[in-house]
């Protein structure tokens, strides 16, 4: 929604696709959509990206110049409960988007990868050249698979693709299954919050406006065919692909207990902590090395965690009239 709104505000024509499924509150999704439907230069298709025929029809009908693919079945823990949802959306759906881009001769595909592809690494911060062959969740595995699929289409069809590894996105209109939302809701309701791994976790929380800024910098400054594969010069033969990967993060990871203290300050209420063990599929730390996207596109996050959390809490209280 935030990315679409930024594009619409500057005068771009945007076609949106979403199935508005019930993974979380559909009313929240509808409220987001209403923010966009007021724009005359926005069209919306309520379609599941896993529906091959419908997706291809939209690509051939609307003929987009560029595609920003942010749709996915999100969440690490839910992949332990409903793995098929990740196969349908993140693998089948992503393949359908690639086919649509190829068929409609799209100039550039930007897609959401994830910091989860790095797995449980000892060394931080994470750099794009790090090995990402050891995902610890199905969600992470599907995101790594997206990068591989994109590379194959870049190589075979010279489709310019850019994968953006987002790091722990938060902010207004965010997802109810993520820590900022879960913690804020619990604190305001006087309920305890589960703190996994006894709080011994590190996260690179990145405010939504910075995520959108990084995404649009890549969208605007990358020309078709400009990029070369990360594999070039790395011992591979015959690799010629307009393909690249970038980290998009805050570059300032904090411990989970510090994050909670900052959230308490923003809410104005102390939290009741329920320290518990590490959950399957989680990683101990995420931390982004953003040197590559800074060099290539001048990206630099502008929102501190303290300021971002204050904006988040203000939105939450207003949205739920608390």
- State residue 234's pLDDT score: 46
Q: Which of 32, 66, 41, 87 is nearest to 216 (CA)?
A: 66
pLDDT band at 31 (very low <50, low <70, confident <90, very high): very high
Q: What digits encode the pLDDT tens for the residues 35-59?
A: 999 999 999 999 999 999 999 999 9
Helix (H) or strand (E) holding 265: helix 256-267
Q: Which residue range forms the structural domain that includes residue 246?
A: 2-173+205-251+287-293
Q: What digits encode the pLDDT tens for the residues 210-267?
A: 999 999 999 998 754 455 555 444 445 556 789 999 999 999 999 999 999 999 999 9
What's 104's domain CATH number? Answer: 3.40.50.720
| pLDDT, greater one: 200 or 152 | 152
Report how far residue 36's alpha carbon sits from residue 8's, in angstroms, rounded to the nearest whole number. 8
The mean predicted confidence, pLDDT, of the chain is 93
Neighbouring residues of 143: CB distance < 8 A, sequence distance ≥ 6: 72, 90, 113, 114, 116, 117, 135
Residue 109 falls within a domain, yes or no?
Answer: yes
Answer whether 173's CB lies under 8 Å from 315's CB.
yes
pLDDT band at 188 (very low <50, low <70, confident <90, very high): very high
Residue 222 falls within a domain, yes or no?
Answer: yes
Residue 180 falls within a domain, yes or no?
Answer: no
Residue 196 has pLDDT above 80, yes or no: yes
Catalytic residues: 139
Q: How many CB atoms lie within 10 A of CB 151?
A: 20
Residue 277 falls within a domain, yes or no?
Answer: no
Number of H helices, E strands in the chain: 11, 12
Q: What digits encode the pLDDT tens for the residues 99-130?
A: 999 999 999 999 999 999 999 988 899 999 99
What average pLDDT does this structure show over 182-204?
91
């Amino acid at each position: 929604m935030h990315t679409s709104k930024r594009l619409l505000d500057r005068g771009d024509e945007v076609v949106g696709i979403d199935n508005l499924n019930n993974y979380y509150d559909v009313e929240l999704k509808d409220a987001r959509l209403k923010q966009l439907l007021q724009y005359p230069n926005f069209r919306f298709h309520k379609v599941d990206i896993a529906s091959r025929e419908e997706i291809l029809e939209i690509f051939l009908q609307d003929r987009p110049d560029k595609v920003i693919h942010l749709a996915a079945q999100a969440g690490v823990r839910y992949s332990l409960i409903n793995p098929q949802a990740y196969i349908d959306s993140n693998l089948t759906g992503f393949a359908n988007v690639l086919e649509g881009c190829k068929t409609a001769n799209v100039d550039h595909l930007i897609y959401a990868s994830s910091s989860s592809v790095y797995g449980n690494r000892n060394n931080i911060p994470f750099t794009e050249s790090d090995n990402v062959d050891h995902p610890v969740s199905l969600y992470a595995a599907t995101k790594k698979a997206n990068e591989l699929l994109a590379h194959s289409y870049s190589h075979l069809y010279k489709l310019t693709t850019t994968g953006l590894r987002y790091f722990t996105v938060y902010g207004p209109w965010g997802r109810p299954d993520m820590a900022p939302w879960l913690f804020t809701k619990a604190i305001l309701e006087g309920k305890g919050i589960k703190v996994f791994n006894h709080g011994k976790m590190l996260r690179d929380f990145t405010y939504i406006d910075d995520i959108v800024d990084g995404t649009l910098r890549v969208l605007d400054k990358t020309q078709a065919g400009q990029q070369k594969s990360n594999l070039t010069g790395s011992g591979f033969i015959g690799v010629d692909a307009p393909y690249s990967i970038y980290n998009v993060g805050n570059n300032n990871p904090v411990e989970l207990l510090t994050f909670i203290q900052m959230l308490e300050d923003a809410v104005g209420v102390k939290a009741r902590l329920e320290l518990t063990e590490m959950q399957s599929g989680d990683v101990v730390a995420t931390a982004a090395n953003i040197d590559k996207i800074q060099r290539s596109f001048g990206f630099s996050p502008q929102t501190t965690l303290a300021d971002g959390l204050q904006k988040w809490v203000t939105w939450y209280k207003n949205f739920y009239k608390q």
